[in-house]
Amino acid sequence: MKKIILVTIGVLLLIGVSFYILYLKWEQLPKIVSSIYVLDKTVSKRDYTEHKSFFWIINTLRIVKPDSSKYNFTKDYYGFYPIDPATGSFDFRSIRISQIEHLADSIDLLYYIDCYGVYSENWASNREATLGQKIYGGLNQNDYLLLKAMLMVEPPLANPPFFKSAIMAPLIASSLKPRCQKKEPSSDVRIAFFKLFDIWSKDL
């Protein structure tokens, strides 16, 4: 009986040490400085289901903001911000038309997660509200103009290389070089996300 216990403890310690070594190797991977614009207008709950996984990918690839801090899925996005569904209080973050040119020149990646929006039956079902009434959402003119401006500044990559298996995902970060200046070409970051989107479409 004691032998079984000792073997079990030994195996658990070995597994724990292995994961710790992998974590240390991950910590040594170079950080990728990149300015990412995320738009999510369909956040009816504070679990941030629509874009939470995207931010997990960003952090796993060690992609950080221009100030070298990590991206936070609760605040580093544009769109709908739920405050209290019980009272129906909310906030939203959007861009002005005067900001479009500056954003198009400064951001490296534009990702529209979900523009469907939040409706009364999903947001304030416990209060008197007309079913099907839109609270916030929809692709507006400024969203379209920013997308158009981004395409004019830097066209999409043609025939980017893709990884064919999700096993290769952890290797993406190690294959990218950290950017030292904000104005350097952002093709490294964009290739990484092309690869990630290909992985999601083929392996999920």
Neighbours of 171 (CB within 10 A): 11
Q: Which phi and psi angles does 181 have, rounded to 5°?
A: -125, 145
Neighbours of 131 (CB within 10 A): 8
Q: What is the pLDDT of residue 161?
A: 38
pLDDT band at 10 (very low <50, low <70, confident <90, very high): confident
**Of the candidates 70, 73, 75, the residue with the CA atom closest to the CA atom of residue 59:** 70
Matching residue, tokens 């129906």: 88
pLDDT band at 200 (very low <50, low <70, confident <90, very high): very low
Whether the pLDDT of residue 129 is over 80: the answer is: no
* 160 burial type by CB count under 10 A (0-12 exposed, 13-18 middle, 19+ buried): middle
Whether the pLDDT of residue 174 is over 80: the answer is: no
Average pLDDT over residues 95-122: 88
Average pLDDT over residues 176-200: 45
Q: What is the pLDDT of residue 155?
A: 56
Q: Compute the distance between CA of residue 119 and CA of residue 125 in angstroms, rounded to an integer.
A: 9
Neighbours of 177 (CB within 10 A): 9
Q: How many residues does the chain have?
A: 204
